[in-house]
Amino acid sequence: MNILLLYPEMPDTFWAMKHLMKIISKKSSYPPLGLLTISRLLPNDWEKKLVDLNVTNLSPADVEWADYVFISAMNVQAEYAKKAIEYCKKFNKKVVAGGPLFTHEFEKFSEVDHFVLNEAEITLPIFIKDITEGKPQRYYTTGEFADVTQSPLPDWNLIDLNKYAYAIVQYSRGCPYRCDFCDVTTLFGRKPRTKTSNQIIDELNLILASGNPGMILFADDNLIGNRRDLKNNLLPALIDWRRRNKNAPGFATQVTINLADDEEMMKLMIEAGFRHIFVGIESVSEESLEDCKKTQNLRRDLLENVKLLQQKGYIVTGGFIVGFDSDKESIFQEQIEFIQNSGIVMATVNILKAPPGTDLNIKLKLEDRLIEPFDFDENMTNIITKMDKMVLYNGYKKILDNIYNPQKIYNRASQFLSYYGNHRAENPIRKEFAFNDLVTLFKIIYFSGIMGKGRLYFWRLFIRTIFVNRKNIVHALLFGALIFQFQRLHEKFMLSYYQISESL
Ligand code: SF4
């Protein structure tokens, strides 16, 4: 049996960082971990080929070769998933779909032959059995959650890791919190299930054997969801692994803001190699945080928490949302001031959405406040908002105009770099210089320092860091490249803004 594993293109969003990828000579941010794991769940004697449409094209020969096409996608890839499915159906191929997009919205994909939904560790073996017995069904679902200690190692042989900025592992699934705009608890439950330390170390060793990427992403929705296991098992194992692998890449992940309450955890995570963390800050308004049930962000000084994390050695990416029912017109300026004062260089701001599979979606459906169909576009919402739509879009535009302004990025980056790097890690992240780094340096200078509209601020940041804080020069170059990335995102937003304002 020949199986084509197909990963649709990612749209040009904050997370895809497509323009940054061009500068650092990578094709995509990270590989499709789900499909790499699916490959190992399929029988050993089946032939497998993986085509990630973010790094390569799909050829007619690839599709013709396949007996089945397995496609996996997230909500944000809906449009490209549809196109990929249509293409494969032209060859009369059987298409099997799974992953978060199809688990929530399978009814939108009538051309798919078989849906293997929820967690594949449970549903896929049943589908395989049915195929081998010649009686496959259309839907495979489960209300159970998989035992991730039994999940197989991903099949890294299927991809060229050098094409990606990050390698990827996943330690836990599920999150104890219940933010109402988030589908994680529907998909994976509220009790975080964790892999064993040995599983993760095996995965990391396999990654190093497949090439040494710049960074490894722990693709957990909330890494610190199960603190006891993390502190007692995984982090000590990662610290030990890093001591044995002196040139091991650093780690990136997602955490909740209350990491800042736990001195021991902050220290252990730094020693284990975590540096880049995404934190959902969402709003500076307590009322809006109450609205969305982001309880862990309430009754705390969010700004001080972020600064503490930065001083401890973390590079914080912050997620923000506007458009909550409680938001007043002052929220836009308040969010801008928070972001500027926080020194968060990478900030992503969205208009509140109610994706399928979330508590918010259920609530707004009952209130008859949903706009169909759902579109994951960062600049859109599927909610009939309480705030006047034009006020909301103008306020949102004001935030993006501000935070993507090169001077403002420069100010945040200078502020951050002025105190970042004073922390001491017993296990520093070392990087051996490679020829590719020189190529990347020239590309950053070309795109950001010569061609970029924010080139003045790029050079200011570069020169200031050389004179004031030379050990942070790699970070200064990254932020310089981000000026270019954010300019492109802002141009894309302006196009959709003009369309939206004409339609309102
Ligand atoms: S903390 Fe993060 S992962 Fe957990 S429910 Fe909230 S948004 Fe989702």
135 and 250 inside one domain = no
Among the candidates 400, 419, 438, a domain finishes at: 419
Is 286 within the bounds of a domain? Answer: yes
- Compute the distance between CA of residue 396 and CA of residue 393 in angstroms, rounded to an integer: 5
CA 105 to centroid of ligand 1, rounded, Å: 20
Within this chain, do residues 220 and 358 fall inside the same structural domain, yes or no?
yes
Burial of 324 (0-12, 13-18, 19+ CB in 10 A): buried
Q: 196 with 231, same domain?
A: yes
Neighbour-count burial for 74-95, b at 16+ CB within 10 Å, e otherwise: bbbbbebbbebbebbbeeebbb
Domain CATH number, residue 379 = 3.20.20.70
221 close to ligand 1 (CB < 6 Angstrom)? yes
Q: Tell whether 188 and 108 lie within a shared domain.
A: no
Instruction: Assess contact for 418 and 476: CB atoms under 8 A.
Output: no
Spatial neighbors of 470 by CB under 8 A, at least 6 apart, are none
Total domains, the chain: 2
Q: Cα of 247 to ligand 1 centre, how many Å?
A: 32
Ligand 1 pocket member 350 (CB < 6 A): no
> Are residues 310 and 171 located together in one domain of the fold?
yes
- Reduced to 3 states (helix: H, G, I; strand: E, B; else coil), residue 27 is coil
The rounded Å distance from CA 320 to ligand 1 centre is 13
Q: Is residue 14 part of a domain?
A: yes
Task: Tell me the CA–centroid distance for residue 221 and ligand 1, in Å.
Answer: 7
**Is 336 inside a domain boundary?**
yes
pLDDT of residue 377: 79
Of 235, 231, 200, 341, the closest CA to residue 281 belongs to 341
DSSP string, 55-68: TSPPPHHHHHH-SE
Q: Do 263 and 379 fall into the same domain?
A: yes
Boundary of a domain, candidates 419, 440, 472: 419
Residues 290 and 385 in one domain: yes
Q: Which atom of ligand 1 is nearest to the CA of 178?
A: 5
103 and 222 inside one domain = no
Residue 249 lies in a domain: yes
What is the SS3 assignment for 226? coil
| pLDDT given at position 350 | 94
Q: Is 357 in the pocket of ligand 1 (CB under 6 A)?
A: no
Q: From ligand 1's centre to the CA of 178, what distance in Å?
A: 6
Best of 171, 178, 182 for a ligand 1 pocket test (most atoms within 8 Å of beta carbon): 182
The residues that bridge with 166 in the sheet, in sequence order, are 215
Q: How far is the CA of 253 from the centre of ligand 1 (A)?
A: 13
User: Count of residues for the chain?
Assistant: 504
pTM given for the model: 0.94
Of 370, 401, 419, which residue sits at a domain end? 419
Write out the residue range of the structural domain in which residue 35 sits: 2-140
50 lies in the same domain as 127: yes
Same domain, 261 and 402: yes
pLDDT tens, the chain, 504 aa long: 999 999 999 998 888 889 999 998 899 999 999 999 999 999 999 999 999 999 999 999 999 999 999 999 999 999 999 999 999 999 999 999 999 999 999 999 999 999 999 999 999 999 999 999 999 999 999 999 999 999 999 999 999 999 999 999 999 999 999 999 999 999 999 999 999 999 999 999 999 999 878 899 999 999 999 999 999 999 999 999 999 998 899 999 999 999 999 999 999 999 999 999 999 999 999 999 999 999 999 999 999 999 999 999 999 999 999 999 999 999 999 999 999 999 999 999 999 999 999 999 999 999 999 998 888 777 889 999 999 999 999 999 999 999 999 999 999 999 999 888 777 778 788 777 677 888 989 999 999 999 988 999 999 999 999 998 888 998 999 999 998 889 888 888 888 888 777 777
- CATH code assigned at 122: 3.40.50.280
Extract the tokens encoding 105: 């919205």
Distance 254 CA to ligand 1 centre (A): 9
User: Does residue 451 form part of some domain?
Assistant: no
Regarding the beta carbon of 182 and ligand 1, being less than 6 Å apart is answered: yes
Relative to the CA of 254, which ligand 1 atom is closest? 2
Residue 82 Cα to ligand 1 midpoint, Å, equals 28
pLDDT of residue 43: 97
Atom of ligand 1 nearest to the CA of 221: 3
| Distance in Å, CA 220 to ligand 1 centroid | 10
Atom 6, ligand 1: residue with shortest CA distance: 179
DSSP 315: E
Asked whether residue 132 falls in the same domain as residue 208, the answer is no
Nearest alpha carbon to residue 23 among 479, 490, 416, 412: 479
Distance 39 CA to ligand 1 centre (A): 28
Domain membership of residue 300 (yes or no) is yes
| 136 found inside a domain | yes
The reported pLDDT for the residue numbered 455 is 93
What 3-state DSSP class applies to 166?
strand
If one residue of 74, 175, 293 were mutated to test the ligand 1 pocket, choosing by the most ligand atoms within 8 A of its CB, it would be 175
Q: How many CB atoms lie within 10 A of CB 454?
A: 24
Query: To test the ligand 1 pocket, which listed residue (188, 221, 253, 350) has its Cβ within 8 A of the most ligand atoms?
Result: 221
- Distance in angstroms (rounded) separating the CA atoms of residues 115 and 117: 6
76: in domain? yes
Calpha distance 378→493 (Å, rounded): 9
User: Which atom of ligand 1 is the closest one to the Cα of 294?
Assistant: 6
Shortest CA distance to 310 belongs to which of 416, 461, 465? 416
Cβ(249) – ligand 1 distance below 6 Å: no
For residues 208 and 134, membership in a common domain is answered with no
**Which residue has the CA at smallest separation from atom 3 of ligand 1?**
221
Give me the residues paired with residue 172 across strands.
194
**What atom of ligand 1 comes closest to residue 225's alpha carbon?**
4
Q: From the CA of 309, how far away is ligand 1's center (Å)?
A: 19
H or E element at residue 359 = helix 359-366
